[in-house]
Structure 1
């Protein structure tokens, strides 16, 4: 399978892999067998594998130019990725009952909500920025569909998760917690801010270094 057929198949597998495993009764069955941590690692690994396949499939699709590639476009992508790395670093290993990926959500303190007070869905926001930033220098039809699809997936995912969390918590509890988190947000750095900033820089450097090995193109030209 090659060309548009592979890209369509990869998109279908992506949508299925991100919808079926988290539904009832599939997720409880998997969690019962391998535990919540095992499910998280398995789901994350599957997501990465399918993502890599999607990117490869987009590269193999017929080239149909929508807009030209220009030198300045790489700077847009780099700026977007700096923001992505910062968001991921600020969200990692922190409780967040509003979205997926929270760590020890039962310890969430709305008076010190961290990034969850600013972004309910930091990982989906990062995915949206990643997609939008990469769409700028990739002006062919296949990559426009790829990155546009990811951005749409992330934005729709935010709404779906909001709906599910409201249903699980109850509308009043969800709204009260959200308002408390907004009231508790602060720009004053906490004890982990410096570590997280350094982690964001390290992640960005790692992604720039690995980009030519994985994608085959230099991420930046110094």
Structure 2
């Protein structure tokens, strides 16, 4: 395999695993075969595996410097990753019929939309911040391509998800958006204890990533 071959192959595998299984005709066939939960689990594991390979392949690609590292870049990464972890904690495994990744969407209450009142696609925003946080201190060509593609996908992905959800929900998509926008921006949560639990989970995730980063990627974000 050429010097850039593994990186190109990993990128192709990542894009394929994140597009083919979720589009017709594959998605309905896979859901019928695995069930909704089985499909979600299998797709999540496949996506994580492809992402892990892609990140590892970027680290093994030839080093072509585009800009030099500076200490302030680490501070930017550390600052952006906390809101990333909080967004993930507030959005994962909770109803959001207007975006992807929602769980129990039939239980969604537009009067108590939670994080959806502030941002319709919180997972895409988390992805954009994660990509930006890691793009700045990794100024070599392979990592710029890696995180740049993620940032572009996050920026454009909202429109793609909106179009898909409009096709699926029809007129209900517009009525949900209007009802959500009518709510106060800083309305109280349905459960304060649930909110604090999720925020605490986000902070714990942030701390866990700081501790695990040297072991997972060979680089300490605190150095």
TM-score of Structure 1 vs Structure 2, range by shorter chain? over 0.9
Deviation, structure 1 residue 7: 1.1
2:82 match: 82
Higher alpha-carbon deviation: 25-34 or 40-49:
25-34
* Alignment: residue pair count: 220
Mapped contact 1:114–1:185 kept (Cα < 8 A): no
1:175 match: 174
Q: 1:212 aligns with which of 207, 211, 214?
A: 214
How do 1:73-222 and structure 2 match up within 5 A?
Answer: 73-170=73-170, 172-190=171-189, 191=192, 192-221=194-223
Q: Could you say what secondary structure the match of 1:3 adopts?
A: coil
Instruction: Tell me, in whole angstroms, the C-alpha distance in 2 between the residues paired with 1:25 and 1:144.
Output: 33
Instruction: Tell me, in whole angstroms, the C-alpha distance in 1 between the residues paired with 2:176 and 2:2.
Output: 48
Higher alpha-carbon deviation: 146-155 or 177-186:
177-186
1:115-152 deviations in whole A, cap 9, x for unaligned?
11111111111111100110010011111000001111
Scaled by the length of structure 2, what TM-score is found? 0.94
Instruction: Tell me, in whole angstroms, the C-alpha distance in 1 between the residues paired with 2:87 and 2:208.
Output: 16
In structure 2, do the counterparts of structure 1 residues 183 and 49 end up closer, same or farther at CA, with 3 Å as the change threshold? Answer: same
How do 1:40-79 and structure 2 match up within 5 A?
Answer: 40-79=40-79
Deviation, structure 1 residue 156: 2.3
Mapped contact 1:64–1:142 kept (Cα < 8 A): yes
Instruction: Tell me, in whole angstroms, the C-alpha distance in 2 between the residues paired with 1:149 and 1:13.
Output: 14
Mapped contact 1:74–1:219 kept (Cα < 8 A): yes
Mapped contact 1:2–1:60 kept (Cα < 8 A): no
Q: Could you say what secondary structure the match of 1:72 adopts?
A: helix
Deviation, structure 1 residue 2: 4.9
1:52-71 deviations in whole A, cap 9, x for unaligned?
11111111111111111011
Instruction: Tell me, in whole angstroms, the C-alpha distance in 1 between the residues paired with 2:186 and 2:94.
Output: 17
Instruction: Tell me, in whole angstroms, the C-alpha distance in 1 between the residues paired with 2:40 and 2:154.
Output: 18
Q: Where does the alignment leave 5 or more consecutive residues of structure 1 unmatched?
A: none
Deviation, structure 1 residue 199: 0.3
Q: Where does the alignment leave 5 or more consecutive residues of structure 2 unmatched?
A: none
CA-atom RMSD, angstroms?
1.3
Q: Could you say what secondary structure the match of 1:184 adopts?
A: coil
Instruction: Tell me, in whole angstroms, the C-alpha distance in 2 between the residues paired with 1:28 and 1:101.
Output: 17
Moved over 3 A (4+): none
Instruction: Tell me, in whole angstroms, the C-alpha distance in 2 between the residues paired with 1:94 and 1:185.
Output: 20
